[in-house]
Structure 1
Amino acid sequence: MTRWMRAVAVVALGAVGCTQQQKPAVTARAELKSVSGSTMEIIPKEGQYPYCMLFTVSEKGIIRQLTMTRENRSIKCDAGKRIYNSSFRVPVEEGKVRAYIFFSDQRIQAGSVAQQLYDLRDKQRLTAMDFRLPGSVAVEMLEFTPTPGGEPVTGAVVGTTDIAEGGQAEGSQTEEAEVEDPQEMAPPKVTPPPNGGGSGPATAADAVK
């Protein structure tokens, strides 16, 4: 190799190294905050699509839908404000969970997402390309490991909502996830998970208002 060729090779390698160093870091679309040992909040960051829905997948394969509405669709999610205006309690016995936040430019039906998430439950890393959804969608995955203990939330309203086979809601909250008067909330209907093993498309979700 001539001296000129060596010089060209050094310049090329240097250019590749600079490109790799200048590659921007991937910024999370949402932030997960631990409220107590088993309670978390998820807060969207600036620049996300206006609607979202939230699911968790536990180590035991249990899938929970944490954002519920009467129409079982995406809810309005504002940057800097906790999703569903709620804290979510994760059962310690289910182990670490992966929280999937689906940001979208339009309200989409949660039933379809729940079923697809169930079909993909064994895949460790999911992106929007793995789902068949309308419009523009972005997916963020955050992890949370619940631990026993933590201060109780005083005056908390605990709501439980199940999803039946096929993604139809058995219980519901308000469309915009507003805080409801505890006296006006009807007792939620709880159904056993499909297939008898707690591994169906979704089971109960605990939300602390």
Structure 2
Amino acid sequence: MTRWPWAAAVLVLGVGCTREGKEGPAARAEIRRVSGSTMEVVPNDGQLPYCLLYTVSQKGVIRQLTMTRENRSIKCETGRPIANTSFRIPAQEGPVKVYVIFSDQRIPAGSVAQQLYELRDRHNVSGMDFRLHGQAFVEQLDFIPEEDEAPVTGGVVGEQGEVAEGMDTAPSEATGGSPPEDGGT
């Protein structure tokens, strides 16, 4: 008779864990769209201190976005864009999978890129799929680049730093120069 209370307790605890697991783990990083084809990747709280950032496009192009002289992972701060920069993804390559690899130590990026190439056809990739020293986690995110608006080009910048609308771009007395007399050379 003493077995039944234990079995009931294990069953109740097992159901509680299953419900918790259905919510899924919290995202380790998030993508912030800066423009149609430009993004920032921002680590969330509680992540390991170093990271590498790669994209794999729908056409199979793999890009390493975090490049250093030593070709190793970089320090990643919580709540700040990785490498304090934004990354432009070519829209013509289609949707990309963004892989953020967090680690507890600096790891070589070249071997990770080669392993990512070998794993490119797998739907989900985890830290266990990579042959890395120490502790590592992989966050896989999706980004769909869109065509950016046409860039706005030129204008004459005045002495106060404002762009004067409707002026031609040839130097003039207002900008401190004079137009060329012989057609310019």
TM exceeds 0.5? yes
The two structures have a TM-score, normalised by structure 2, of 0.71
Name the amino acid aligned to 1:103: F
Is the 8 Å Cα contact of residues 51 and 105 (structure 1) preserved in structure 2?
yes
Task: Indicate the structure whose relative CO is greater, using CA pairs within 8 Å and at least 6 residues apart.
Answer: 1
Unaligned runs of 5+ in 2: 1-7, 153-185
Question: Which residue in the other structure is 1:91 paired with?
Answer: 90
Encode CA deviations 1:48-90: one digit per residue, 9 max, x unaligned: 1111010000000100000000000000100011001110000
Change in 2 beyond 3 A, CA 1:13/1:83: same
CA distance in structure 1 between the aligned counterparts of 2:120 and 2:29, rounded to whole angstroms: 21
CA distance in structure 2 between the aligned counterparts of 1:102 and 1:59, rounded to whole angstroms: 20
Moved more, 57-66 or 117-126: 117-126
CA distance in structure 1 between the aligned counterparts of 2:47 and 2:151, rounded to whole angstroms: 32
Is the 8 Å Cα contact of residues 40 and 88 (structure 1) preserved in structure 2?
yes
Structure 1 residue matching 2:132: 3-state secondary structure: coil
The two structures have a TM-score, normalised by structure 1, of 0.64
Moved more, 36-45 or 18-27: 18-27
Structure 1 residue matching 2:66: 3-state secondary structure: coil
Is the 8 Å Cα contact of residues 38 and 150 (structure 1) preserved in structure 2?
no
Change in 2 beyond 3 A, CA 1:152/1:71: farther
- CA drift of 1:46 comes to 1.1
CA distance in structure 2 between the aligned counterparts of 1:104 and 1:22, rounded to whole angstroms: 25
- CA drift of 1:19 comes to 4.2
CA distance in structure 2 between the aligned counterparts of 1:102 and 1:113, rounded to whole angstroms: 9
Question: Which residue in the other structure is 1:63 paired with?
Answer: 62
- CA drift of 1:15 comes to 6.6
Structure 1 residue matching 2:112: 3-state secondary structure: helix
Name the amino acid aligned to 2:94: G
Question: Which residue in the other structure is 1:107 paired with?
Answer: 106
Unaligned runs of 5+ in 1: 1-9, 154-209
Matched, 1:122 2:100: no
Question: Which residue in the other structure is 2:37 paired with?
Answer: 38
Structure with bigger gyration radius: 2
State, as a whole percentage, how many aligned pairs show the same letter.
56
- CA drift of 1:20 comes to 2.8
Question: Which residue in the other structure is 1:51 paired with?
Answer: 50
- CA drift of 1:13 comes to 7.5
CA distance in structure 2 between the aligned counterparts of 1:151 and 1:17, rounded to whole angstroms: 55
CA distance in structure 2 between the aligned counterparts of 1:151 and 1:45, rounded to whole angstroms: 33
Change in 2 beyond 3 A, CA 1:151/1:52: farther
**Where does 1:151-162 land on structure 2 (aligned, <5 Å)?**
none
Number of residue-to-residue matches in the alignment? 147
- Pick aligned residue for 2:18 from 17, 20, 33: 20
CA distance in structure 1 between the aligned counterparts of 2:103 and 2:9, rounded to whole angstroms: 43
Is the 8 Å Cα contact of residues 36 and 151 (structure 1) preserved in structure 2?
no
CA distance in structure 2 between the aligned counterparts of 1:117 and 1:55, rounded to whole angstroms: 9
Change in 2 beyond 3 A, CA 1:129/1:11: closer
